[in-house]
Structures are given as C-alpha cells and as structure tokens.
Chain A
Amino acid sequence: AQKVTQAQTEISVVEKEDVTLDCVYETRDTTYYLFWYKQPPSGELVFLIRRNSFDEQNEISGRYSWNFQKSTSSFNFTITASQVVDSAVYFCALTDSGNTPLVFGKGTRLSVIA
C-alpha cells in the first residue's frame, strides 16, 4: 500500500527565513509520481509540482525548490526567503503510473510571521 508521511505538523518561521518541509513516501511500485499541493487559508488546493520516479533531478522555481532522493524515499520542499503569503498548509501526495487516485500526507501547516 502507498503511504505518505509528513512528520512536521506545524512550522512557524519569521519572514525571510528559509524553511524545508519534509515528505517521506512508501510504495512498492517502481514507477510513481510525487506531488506537492498548497492549501492557502481560502481552502483551495493549488498544484505546485509533479515529479516522476525516474527523474531525480532537483528542481527550482523561483523561491521554491524540491529535493527528490529515492535512496531515502523523500521528496522535500524548500522555500527560500519565506514571505507571509507562503502561509498555508502544504500537502505531499503520491500516485502510481496512470490516473489512479492521489494518496495525500496529513499536511504541514506553515506560518510565516512578519
């Protein structure tokens, strides 16, 4: 069975600090996809990134970066120079190949204080 663990329930940082959100996953599939979604206080789910199991390159998008390591089954998310607008709940999710349902972690609530 697939499982996603986000051990950090809540993180609080001061604006401009860097913060890393951890995600550890379990799957028996050799092909799988990992995702990060952001849920701001307004409640919607915003897609941030998808990564497939064959692509271990780290990715950077502006202040966001992702570190995928198959050896440790982790897909961590770093926000550099955090801003108040980054305050949200962030979910890591996993699915196998195809259009099967996403398995979500419990989420990490990030609070960025001005």
Chain B
Amino acid sequence: EPEVTQTPSHQVTQMGQEVILRCVPISNHLYFYWYRQILGQKVEFLVSFYNNEISEKSEIFDDQFSVERPDGSNFTLKIRSTKLEDSAMYFCASSSGTLYNQPQHFGDGTRLSIL
C-alpha cells in the first residue's frame, strides 16, 4: 500500500540553525500538510499546500517557517532559525483531494530535537 515517507526520522540541531524536514507524499495525492506534536500534547496543524501554494496556515506557522515542493515528489518544511520550543514531532500528511474528503494519510514523523 502506498505510504507517506518522511526523512530523517530524527534530527538533532543546535538552536539558531536552519533545518529542512523532507516528505514524499503518496504519488497521486494533491493536498499536502504539515502538523506538529510537542511531546505529550495533541497534534496541531501548521500548513496545507495545494497547487503549488499555501492554501491555509495556522498562527504557529510564522515567518521562520516555509514550505516548498521543489520537484514532483518532495514536500519540504524549512525552519529558518530554530528555537528550543520547535522541538517536536513533525508529521507530513497527504490526501487525494477527491470529492468525499478522503482521509489524510500521515508519515511516520520526524522527531526534531533542538539543543
């Protein structure tokens, strides 16, 4: 069964450094998402992406964050200058975008640790 893949599974970065989290959505999906889960808390929406542009973003998704679909397969989340509070599990998700709201399929996540 096709799946969303995320790399790396764990990223350790010094505070203030830039980090890029990578995702390969399911190949025929059209909508892409990033969510964040701080340890022990709920999953929170960051941003959605459709037709090569951001379709919606939350208040968490401030100027330090950006997303890109650099080619036909990858979907990346960049954090420009990481802060301690960016430590979290980051999930990528994709959905097919068909009429009946197919479920969002999630990757296994990238655990980001900021030191």
- List chain A positions with a Cβ less than 8 A from chain B: 33, 35, 37, 42-47, 50, 52, 91, 93, 95, 97-107
Contact = CB atoms under 8 A, between A and B. Distances in A.
Contacts of A107: 42
Interface residues of B, number: 27
Q: Is the interface of B mostly helix, strand, loop or mixed?
A: strand
A98 to B, nearest CB: 7
A101 B48 contact: yes
A50 B50 CA distance: 22
Interface of B: 31, 33, 35, 41-45, 48, 50, 55-56, 58, 89, 91, 95, 97, 100-101, 103-109, 111
Contacts of B56: 100-101
Given A43-B109, A104-B44, A107-B42, A99 B31 contact: yes
Contacts of A91: 42-43
B42 A99 contact: no
